[in-house]
Amino acid sequence: MAFFRAALAAALLVAAPALIGLARPAAAQDVTLTSRDGQVEIGGTLLGFDGEFYRVDTIYGELTIDGSGVICDGPGCPSLTGFVARIAFSGAGSMAETLLPALVEGFALRNGYVTERLPGRDARELHYTLSTPEPLTEIAEFTFRATNTDEGFADLLANEADIVMTTREIRLMEKALAQEAGMGDMTLPNRSRVVALDAIVPVISPENPVRSLSIPELAQVFAGEIDNWQMLDGQDAPITLVMPDPQDGFAQAVSDRLMRPAGLSLSSGIQRPPDSRAVSRAVSVDPFAIGLVSFSAIGAARPVMLTGPCGFEVAATRRAVKTEDYPLTAPLFLYLPARRLPTVARQFLAYASSPAAQLVIRRAGFVDLAPEHVSIADQGKRLANAIDAAGPETSLGDLQEMVRTLSPLSRLTTTFRFETGSARPDAQSRSNVLQLAHALEAGTYDMNRLLFVGFSDGEGPAEPNRAISQRRASAVRDAVVAAAEESGLERVTLETTGFGEALPMACDDSEWGRQVNRRVEVWIDGRGYR
């Protein structure tokens, strides 16, 4: 009796995010929960059960009740002995069709589970069952619904999905609706997770002679303002525009990352195949077409370099995407409401961010999150660009000081950049803060020296820019230290410096270029690296 009342009292605290909700049931049905001494009874609609806790919609509101203290009666009551965890994902098609299934198979292999892939209710849905061998016993079912980001959030709000897959950040309206529905703040670190990286890549036919475009030109092309290849030093032929379905999360990322900063809207004359792979196929056979596709779906089409009038060029390579040196990087997110998931789902999410999962992500065609070391010898083009772009306020002495400081070190691909017009780290960088903090806690960099190196754009005087870059480096270092909750920081040396505008990555003639240049890099003295 006391146990049940305590559980009920805890459940009534519906404002506490950790107690709001459980995994989605196959169908909501009426149940009655009775304390084991029979003295307390409560009825309602079963919203979920994770093998340990019930989530019930009652006259008191939505309650979370420990299953060990009650007896369940009614047609919706789950089996306590043969419980099968059911986890539903909905959202971005590229994640549902390729990335997440690959991670489920990797998770199953690592844990000795037997997997079976089953068709869903329609072509957009598939199921994976996980079973223990000998005897074969099903323990979980993962459902992936390949819709789009908008529908993913709609399914979550309708209690038809547990996790949203998206290629863009949650919008303010979606965040507000989720909070109104009792799902907590879905922008918090434990609610929003970057699992892999993708990028927006312009592609053309291998027969097209155009080699590079600036980002402003690319935006003008897809706005319809540049409509003939001759305007881009190509042939005298109209440009055919191709891009995925407008409701796809990738297409929405294009609007956010490419069009909106230019103050432009997408042309109404764009051809709309269903996904990036279909775009790549269409463009590869049309010498006058240009498409925007995800990095994981370039296929037979030829990527276009991004450039600027100052001579910088950058290609969409795996390393450039990982460091965000490529300016149109697109993180892939999982959004989770503030509800308790079944044990196997929590284990899967932990696996998805583990080192073992990074190779699976790369083999699936996406960019993994594992930090890599880049020696200064492999950065000759960056240094050559720095010398070439140096203005009157960047002296030879400044460049020599930077090279002397960085030459004994290696750059980590873990880079921190900031939202446009803000000191707040962008989505990928917020994920990088947690990743680096966890690596420090785990002792990955014990006996090493990590140097947080700040850089700025070239707007304004050089000395204030250098001071700003130093403050950014210190702020990122402090954020990583704050996120590293466990001890162990005494075994690593964390230092900061700033070189202002001395090492630009892009031209400063656009907001895209300035945002790429405003960054904090991490360099490591690897002599103690294990």
Same-domain check for residues 218 and 354: no
Q: State the Cα–Cα distance between residues 199 and 332, nearest whole angstrom.
A: 10
Query: Considering the domain boundaries, does residue 80 fall inside one?
Result: no
Give bridge partners of residue 135 from the DSSP assignment.
none
Query: 383 and 524 share a domain?
Result: yes
Q: What is the tally of structural domains in the chain? A: 4
Q: Using DSSP, state whether 150 is helix, strand or coil.
A: helix
Cα separation, 506 vs 311, in Å, equals: 9
Pair 295, 341 in one domain: no
Predicted TM-score (pTM) of this structure: 0.81
**Residues whose CB is less than 8 angstroms from the CB of residue 200 and which lie 6 or more positions away in sequence, other chains included:** 250, 253, 254, 257, 258, 292, 293, 294, 328, 330
- 169 and 245 inside one domain: no
* Strand 493-498 versus strand 449-455 pairing type: parallel
In this structure, the answer to whether residues 217 and 175 fall within a common structural domain is: no
Residue 328 lies in a domain: no
- The count of residues in the chain is 530
Question: Is cis: bond before 355, omega within 30 of 0?
Answer: no
Which tokens hold the place of 309?
């009038």
- Are residues 288 and 261 part of one domain? yes
Amino acid 387: pLDDT? 72
Of 194, 196, 161, 197, which Cα lies nearest the Cα of 178? 161
Domain C-terminal end among 28, 45, 73: 73
Those residues of the chain that have pLDDT short of 70 are: 1-28, 81, 247-248, 311, 380-381, 385-386, 388-391, 420-422, 487, 526-530
- Categorise residue 184: left if φ over 0, alpha if ψ from -120 to 50, beta otherwise: left
Inter-residue contact 117 to 131 (CB < 8 Å):
no
Q: Do 334 and 249 touch, CB atoms closer than 8 A? A: no
Helix 100-111 to helix 343-352 angle (10° resolution) is 110
Answer yes or no: are the C-beta atoms of 229 and 313 closer than 8 Å.
no
Q: Which of 19, 52, 73 is the last residue of a domain?
A: 73
Range of the domain at 512: 371-528
**Cα 11–Cα 12–Cα 14 angle in degrees, nearest 5:** 85
Residue 79 lies in a domain: no
Task: Read off φ and ψ for residue 507, nearest 5 degrees.
Answer: -75, 145
Confidence (pLDDT) at 122: 84
32 exposure class (CB count in 10 Å sphere: 0-12, 13-18, 19+): middle
pLDDT of residue 523: 95
Contact 66, 306 (CB under 8 A): no
Let me know if residue 78 belongs to a domain. Answer: no
Q: What 3-state class would DSSP assign to 177?
A: helix
Is residue 212 in some structural domain?
Answer: yes
The reply to whether 436 falls in a domain is yes
Q: Is residue 299 part of a domain?
A: yes
State residue 282 phi and psi, 5-degree precision. -65, -40
Write down the mean pLDDT value for the chain: 86
- Count of Cβ atoms closer than 10 Å to residue 118 Cβ: 11
The domain boundary residue, chosen from 314, 346, 363: 363
Q: Token pair of 343, please?
A: 């044990």
Please tell me whether residues 190 and 206 are part of one structural domain: no
CATH code of residue 32: 2.30.30
- 161 and 179 share one domain: yes
Burial of residue 85 (CB within 10 Å: 0-12, 13-18, 19+) is buried
Q: Closest Cα to residue 242, out of 197, 171, 299, 308?
A: 299
**How many CB atoms lie under 10 A from the CB of residue 188?**
11
Determine how many CB atoms are found less than 10 A away from the CB of residue 139. 18
Distance (Å, whole) CA 405 – CA 168: 37
State the pLDDT at residue 208: 95
Do 174 and 95 sit in the same domain of this protein? yes
Asked if residue 419 and residue 389 are part of one domain, the reply reads yes
User: For residue 91, what are the β-bridge partners?
Assistant: 146, 165
- CATH, residue 386: 3.30.1330.60
Q: What is the pLDDT of residue 526?
A: 65
Residue 281: per-residue pLDDT: 96
Considering the domain boundaries, does residue 494 fall inside one? yes
Beta bridge partners of 192: 335
Residue bearing tokens 């475009």: 213
CA 361 to chain centre: 12
Shared domain for 211 and 262, answered yes or no, is: yes
- Domain of residue 271, CATH code: 3.40.190.10
Co-location of 165 and 208 in the same domain: no
How far apart are the C-alpha atoms of 178 and 132, rounded to whole Å? 35
Task: Give the pLDDT score at 3.
Answer: 42
- Exposure string over 420-437, b if 16+ CB within 10 A, otherwise e: eeeeebbbbbbbbbbbbb
- Give the per-residue pLDDT at 16: 33
C-alpha closest to that of 149 among 163, 166, 161, 173: 166
Q: Nearest 5°: CA angle at 335, between 132 and 262?
A: 140
* pLDDT at position 458: 81
From residue 341, give the alpha-carbon distance in Å to each of 23, 365, 426.
Answer: 5, 28, 27
3-state secondary structure of 337: coil
